[in-house]
Amino acid sequence: MAVYEERIPQVKQQRPRRRGNRKLVILLVLFFLTILIIVFIRSPYSKVQEIRVIGNDIYTTEQIITQSGLMKDMQFLNVWENSVRNNMKPLEAIKDVTVSRSFPGLITLHITEQKRVAFWSGQDRSRYALLDNGYVLKQVNFAKRVVDRPLISSWASPELLPHLAKSLSKLSPDVLAEISDITLTPTVYDKQRVTLYMRDGNEVRSVIYKLDKMMNWYPAIVKDLPPDTKGVLSLFEQPWFIPYGAQGAIPIQEGQEQPQQ
């Protein structure tokens, strides 16, 4: 008997199949996910409820939102950064824009603009921003806004504006804020001579290609001048100062440390 039992093949016990159960679970999960998506799309949480703009100075918040193509109540998930960037291209002073999303329904546009370094004054009393890349932005008229940058007048050489813009962009904010007006005053020997009228009552004469270096000395130089004395400060190779109504010049002492930009 033992010999016959060894020859009889043993039948393996098969485990019950669970494929049917797995398919049912997957179908149920897909079903509930579909229901959740439909409920979300129809709920207020799927809509854009608020649009914020951060970092804008030249353009108003309304201008940026309108140009972006974004609107309240549009689908929150349909906001694409590349699309917003393409829509922003007509706004010439915008360098970059990034989009961030926050639930529920908040879209934030982070704007990076070109820096304003001066104002270009038109003959019709218009006022346009001179950007740090040398471009005069005529999309926005600043005539009704506070003059917080130097005003350019009597400028007969537009080709020199990019050079001026580059120099002004390197000035410290405090020094740039002290300049009231800039006028091109060329000579036979130097076409880049400029005259700067300061808000403290002084007048500075220099050249465009030296402004970014020489003008950052201005606060330290003025500090060492006689009290309550206004006049003409020449910032060339050797700075000197002539008080208004005086005949002789006051030499500027060397050895002062240039302020950090």
156 falls within a domain? yes
- Residue identified by tokens 């309240």 is 72
252 falls within a domain? no
Does this model's pTM top 0.75? My answer is yes
Query: 79 and 124, same structural domain?
Result: no
48 falls within a domain? yes
Query: 52 and 73, same structural domain?
Result: yes
Beta-bridged to residue 251, according to DSSP, are 240
Domain boundary among 113, 134, 166: 113
Q: Give the model confidence (pLDDT) of 3-42 as tens digits.
A: 555 565 555 555 555 566 787 777 778 777 777 666 666 6
Query: 55 and 152, same structural domain?
Result: no
Query: 125 and 106, same structural domain?
Result: no
Residue 78, domain CATH: 3.10.20.310
Is residue 48 classed exposed, middle or buried when 0-12, 13-18 and 19+ CB atoms within 10 A define those classes? Answer: buried
Domain boundary among 98, 113, 128: 113
259 falls within a domain? no
Q: Give the model confidence (pLDDT) of 229-243 as tens digits.
A: 899 999 988 888 999
Average pLDDT value for residue range 207-217 = 93
Query: 140 and 102, same structural domain?
Result: no
Query: 147 and 238, same structural domain?
Result: yes
Query: 157 and 187, same structural domain?
Result: yes
How many domains does the chain divide into? 2
11 falls within a domain? no
247 falls within a domain? no
203 falls within a domain? yes
pLDDT at 251 over 80: no
pLDDT at 257 over 90: no
217 falls within a domain? yes
Domain boundary among 81, 113, 145: 113
Query: 137 and 95, same structural domain?
Result: no
Residue 144, domain CATH: 3.40.50.10960
Query: 151 and 226, same structural domain?
Result: yes
Q: Give the model confidence (pLDDT) of 98-118 as tens digits.
A: 999 988 889 999 999 999 999
Query: 209 and 148, same structural domain?
Result: yes
pLDDT score for 259: 47
Query: The domain containing residue 90 runs over which residues?
Result: 44-113
* Cβ–Cβ under 8 Å, residues 115 and 58: no
